[in-house]
Structure 1
Amino acid sequence: MNSNRKGKEGERELANLLKEYGYGCRRGQQFCGSNGDADVVGLPGVHIECKRVEKLNLYAAVEQSRNDAREAEIPVVMHRKNRREWLVTMPLKEWMKMYER
């Protein structure tokens, strides 16, 4: 599978998984092309960078999410490898803000 197709399928998979938790999520790029949306939208206040790869530079992915996030959004990377569960990576400072709430 080529990486572009795998990325799109990962975004759809993640959006559908988040729907199972009751959130109206969808791929951010699916309707109007590159518009500055997150890879997956529908979690208020969270900017999701979705990565569906075997090898991932987490720091680069977090930086990408941080750079693309709007001012009030928490930058997160949701990622998984083949045959593995989804994980969430985010800056500790942002996680502590969420935890303290």
Structure 2
Amino acid sequence: MGKMSRDKGKRGERELANKLKEHGFNAKRGQQYCGANGDADVIGLPDIHIEVKRTERLNLYEALAQAKADKRAGEMPIVAHRKNNCEWVIIQPLEDWIEMYKEGVK
């Protein structure tokens, strides 16, 4: 991965963390604070492993597989993705979404 691509990834992580902060979450870049110890790209949402992808072309299933492989026990893997001039979207397994939805509608 080239320097420009790494820099874009870091900017994406900061951008998402700031967006989450706007909504009251205590989010920050994971690697920036903890080094390469298995932390998610963005931390601060308990029990959620966030893999950030700031790219024009994304292989959804590869990104989700990375989030699943990197998550810790008990964490729900998600991929946060944004391409240029578009909004952030979240990708997650359907079963996890159903679990979250059921908890939210009680």
TM-score interval, smaller chain? over 0.9
Partners of 2:34 and 2:72 in 1: CA distance: 18
1:1-101 equivalent positions in 2, closer than 5 A: 2-101=4-103
Report the 3-state secondary structure (helix = DSSP H, G, I; strand = E; otherwise coil) of the residue aligned with 2:34: coil
Report the 3-state secondary structure (helix = DSSP H, G, I; strand = E; otherwise coil) of the residue aligned with 1:23: coil
Measured after TM superposition, the shift of residue 26 of structure 1 is: 0.3
Alpha-carbon RMSD across the aligned residues, in angstroms, is 1.0
Which structure has the larger Rg over C-alpha atoms? 2
Partners of 1:42 and 1:70 in 2: CA distance: 14
Q: Gaps (5+ residues) in structure 1? A: none
How many residues of Structure 1 are paired with residues of Structure 2 in the alignment? 101
Hey, which bits of structure 1, 4+ residues long, moved more than 6 A?
none
Q: Gaps (5+ residues) in structure 2? A: none
Partners of 1:17 and 1:68 in 2: CA distance: 23
Question: Which of the two has greater helix per residue?
Answer: 2
The C-alpha deviation readout for 1:35-88, integer Å capped at 9, x for no partner, is 100000000110000000000000000010011111111100000000100000
Calculate the TM-score normalised by the size of structure 1. 0.97
Calculate the TM-score normalised by the size of structure 2. 0.92
Partners of 1:83 and 1:34 in 2: CA distance: 30
Percent of aligned positions with the same letter in both sequences?
57
Partners of 1:76 and 1:54 in 2: CA distance: 18
Partners of 1:60 and 1:32 in 2: CA distance: 24
